[in-house]
Structure 1
Amino acid sequence: MKDIKVGIIGCGYWGPNLIRNFNDSYHFDLEYACDLNKDRTERIKLCYPYVTVTTDYRELLKDRELNAVAVATPVFTHYKLVREALEAGKHVLVEKPLASTVREAENLVNLALKKGLILLVDHTFIYTSAVRRIKEFISAGELGEIYYFDSVRVNLGLFQHDVNVIWDLAPHDLSIMDFIVGEKPVSVVATGASHTPGGLEDVAYVTVKFKDNLIAHFHVNWMSPVKIRKVIIGGSKKMVVFDDLDPADKIKIYDKGIMLSKANEKSVYQSMVQYRIGDMYAPAITNIEALKVEIEHFADCIRNKKKPITDGEAGLRVVRILEAASKSLKKGGVKVNI
């Protein structure tokens, strides 16, 4: 039943995907599409003639019949738009990252809690079958103790005018790490460089450390000649490779690793490293569009007052790492505790 009335704020790069999925949902009634660019709203109107288009987001917030809004605008606008939407009594789905600062993110989380409203952050990869399957493997203990999380997300463009490559690309893999690892990081180190007049870093490396020697590394780049979307997770029992660009086998589980055979218990330096080379298998996963799954989850949370998988707290944890990375970057790569 299409009884949850929703409006979209922002019809640029990601907005049309939200509009399409909300329109196709059995639960949502797409009422509004808002963007400052009239050409964009006119194109939306051609595809969805029954949707009210506007350049003023306040029209959506003033409509008492509207239950929810989705915000797909530049990150520097998120705090204002999400705050006003929550204050107007609307449930909110907001594009990643949640906000520009930890303080802003905390305020939004607290406001949603105070108002009793759903705040869902659009960490789309969490809703992919691949990532959820990896989470199942790790939760079942199949990988053993997690040693490292290593990700590469590189391509040629798209250059952003308001955020650097870390804030643009890293939230995807940071959210995957947060979901899969489930541990609180203790420090962040970030280095990067800018090769364009705008001064925003277009190549960067972020290292996140945890307790018990767990380490995560993120390579993000707008200047790569090839597109790579890959995560490698190493465990004491098995290892996982997640290649989002592989159409056939997005997940590969490797029964590989090392074993320590101590020749002399008094000295760790005399330990013998042995290599375990086993089989590889690629589990079957479904190809349901992640955004469709996410929007259905949003509806379920609204109807049944459930806590979203990627709620405001999850968004806040990602912003904490991003803010720490920014501080490290500005100080030449110093370690920033979080």
Structure 2
Amino acid sequence: MERLGIAVIGAGYWGPNLVRNLRASDDWHLRAVCDLDLDRAARVVGPPGDVRVTASLDEVLADPAIDAVAIATPARTHHGLALAALAAGKHVLVEKPLADSAEHGLAMIDSAEAGGLVLMADHTYCYTPAVQKIRELIAEGALGDLLFIDSVRINLGLIQPDVDVFWDLAPHDLSIMDFILPGGLAAEAVAAQGSDPLGAGRSCVGYLSMPLARGAMAHVHVNWLSPTKIRRMVIGGTRRTLVWDDLNPQQRVSVFDRGVDLASTSEDPADRTASTISYRLGDTWSPALPEHEALASMVAEFAASIRGGRTARTDGRAALRVLRVLEAATRSLEDAGSLTRVERDEVPRELEGVR
């Protein structure tokens, strides 16, 4: 099958990773790298060849050999760049977060849908074998009904000039939750607490709490200031508990047949005093997982969604759900950490329950 033409816009932190994977893909022909810093773009491209280096977005969008663009620039620029690309008839891949506001994200989605184009978010972790296995285990009921999700993403990270730690790191955890939870991330409210101990002008340490369905709860801890790097998610269910440790390649996913059982001895379900508590201490097992780069799967999905004329697995709507939570978290921070409602889009009746 003939390869699709693509250009990468932005040769900074994430752009080189996209360039490397697009070049290695059988689905894509990397035709251009666009960046205002031509020297930086040239270093990313390497020795002169068939990949054009340019500072002109107009030149990229006017090229009929370019079917799609991948945007890897600061979040505040995503909206304008994506709308220009969509108006030029190009499919668009955008690194996280999709936009700097839900309003801008929705405008991008509307433009893509009006033009019959694919708008996809680069929620990279959703394409890791570990997260795909977690989604599968939850879907088949291996964990039972979910009770809690506790996620920690901390490291000594780069303090961003334009976003706080929530907008920088939490999109990873929120996009994973949207991917693995049946029906997506349907949080109705969020409470956020943030701290700026350095005086950087934005939260460098943060905590998100979200009530989920049937009394479950999700918690996300993000931190730019930790000397220790941790990427871990614990998902507790009524049957089993799962631990995902992204930094442990020998055992990324562990499933524990351990937990608490609450059995009522009363005919009145509201009588909690007449309950017995027992603890399960069963086996622990780790599923075998293939090892491959998530970005390679992500760019393959982008091509497949274009060729198939279908919605991408991490499409604009999935990214918008993440943006809605981030915006509610910002409002919660401004209101001293109060539980703040997450705006929700009305879902057409015929699409209810469909992912």
Q: Name the TM-score class by shorter chain.
A: over 0.9
Shift of 1:214: 1.6
Residues in 2 aligned to 1:292 and 1:251: alpha-carbon distance in whole angstroms? 21
Shift of 1:48: 5.6
Residues in 2 aligned to 1:76 and 1:31: alpha-carbon distance in whole angstroms? 25
Deviating more after overlay: 61-70 vs 46-55? 46-55
- Aligned partner of 1:245 in structure 2 is 247
In structure 1, list runs of 5 or more residues that go unmatched: none
- 1:273 paired with 2:286, answer no
**1:195 alignment partner, SS class:** coil
- Aligned partner of 2:180 in structure 1 is 180
Q: Which amino acid aligns with 1:79?
A: H
Shift of 1:47: 4.2
- Aligned partner of 2:228 in structure 1 is 226
Cα deviation per residue 1:58-93 (whole Å; 9 max; x = unaligned)? 211121221000000000000000111111100011
Contact 1:143 1:234 in 2 (8 A): yes
Q: Which amino acid aligns with 1:83?
A: L
Q: Which amino acid aligns with 1:233?
A: I
Q: Which amino acid aligns with 2:44?
A: I
Residues in 2 aligned to 1:242 and 1:127: alpha-carbon distance in whole angstroms? 14
Q: Which amino acid aligns with 2:259?
A: G
**After superposition, where does 1:312-323 map in structure 2 within 5 Å?**
312-323=316-327
Q: Which amino acid aligns with 1:206?
A: L
Identity %: 44
Contact 1:125 1:172 in 2 (8 A): yes
Q: Which amino acid aligns with 2:273?
A: Y
- Aligned partner of 2:330 in structure 1 is 326
- 1:288 paired with 2:292, answer yes
- Aligned partner of 1:75 in structure 2 is 75
Residues in 2 aligned to 1:140 and 1:92: alpha-carbon distance in whole angstroms? 33
Q: Which amino acid aligns with 1:136?
A: E
Residues in 2 aligned to 1:12 and 1:290: alpha-carbon distance in whole angstroms? 19
Contact 2:190 2:332 in 1 (8 A): yes
Q: Which amino acid aligns with 1:246?
A: N
Counterpart of 1:213 (choices 215, 224, 227) is 215
Cα deviation per residue 1:107-130 (whole Å; 9 max; x = unaligned)? 111111110001110000110110
Count of aligned pairs between the two proteins: 338
**1:32 alignment partner, SS class:** strand
Shift of 1:133: 0.6
Contact 1:2 1:29 in 2 (8 A): no
**2:46 alignment partner, SS class:** helix
Deviating more after overlay: 50-59 vs 279-288? 50-59
Residues in 1 aligned to 2:146 and 2:87: alpha-carbon distance in whole angstroms? 41
Deviating more after overlay: 263-272 vs 289-298? 263-272
Contact 1:145 1:237 in 2 (8 A): yes
Shift of 1:195: 2.4
- Aligned partner of 2:62 in structure 1 is 62
**After superposition, where does 1:1-338 map in structure 2 within 5 Å?**
1-47=1-47, 49-183=49-183, 184-266=186-268, 267-338=271-342
Residues in 1 aligned to 2:3 and 2:248: alpha-carbon distance in whole angstroms? 38
Deviating more after overlay: 44-53 vs 94-103? 44-53
Residues in 1 aligned to 2:133 and 2:84: alpha-carbon distance in whole angstroms? 36
Cα–Cα, structure 1 residues 218 and 54, in superposed 2: closer, same or farther, change >3 Å?
A: same
Deviating more after overlay: 264-273 vs 242-251? 264-273
Q: Which amino acid aligns with 1:234?
A: G
Shift of 1:2: 4.8
Cα deviation per residue 1:196-229 (whole Å; 9 max; x = unaligned)? 3431110000011123112110000000010000
Q: Which amino acid aligns with 1:50?
A: D
Shift of 1:159: 1.2
Residues in 2 aligned to 1:131 and 1:66: alpha-carbon distance in whole angstroms? 31
Question: Over aligned residue pairs, what C-alpha RMSD do you find?
Answer: 1.2
Q: Which amino acid aligns with 1:305?
A: G
Cα–Cα, structure 1 residues 323 and 47, in superposed 2: closer, same or farther, change >3 Å?
A: farther
Residues in 2 aligned to 1:82 and 1:232: alpha-carbon distance in whole angstroms? 35
Q: Which amino acid aligns with 1:140?
A: E
Q: Which amino acid aligns with 2:196?
A: S
Contact 2:242 2:255 in 1 (8 A): yes
**2:201 alignment partner, SS class:** coil
Residues in 1 aligned to 2:6 and 2:37: alpha-carbon distance in whole angstroms? 20
Contact 1:186 1:211 in 2 (8 A): no
Q: Which amino acid aligns with 1:220?
A: V
Cα deviation per residue 1:269-326 (whole Å; 9 max; x = unaligned)? 2322111010000000011110000101111111111211000000100000011001
Q: TM-score, normalised by structure 1?
A: 0.97
Q: Which amino acid aligns with 2:166?
A: I
Residues in 2 aligned to 1:87 and 1:197: alpha-carbon distance in whole angstroms? 41
Contact 1:262 1:272 in 2 (8 A): yes
Residues in 2 aligned to 1:161 and 1:48: alpha-carbon distance in whole angstroms? 33
Shift of 1:102: 1.0
Contact 1:5 1:67 in 2 (8 A): yes
Contact 2:240 2:258 in 1 (8 A): yes
In structure 2, list runs of 5 or more residues that go unmatched: 343-355
Residues in 1 aligned to 2:28 and 2:330: alpha-carbon distance in whole angstroms? 37
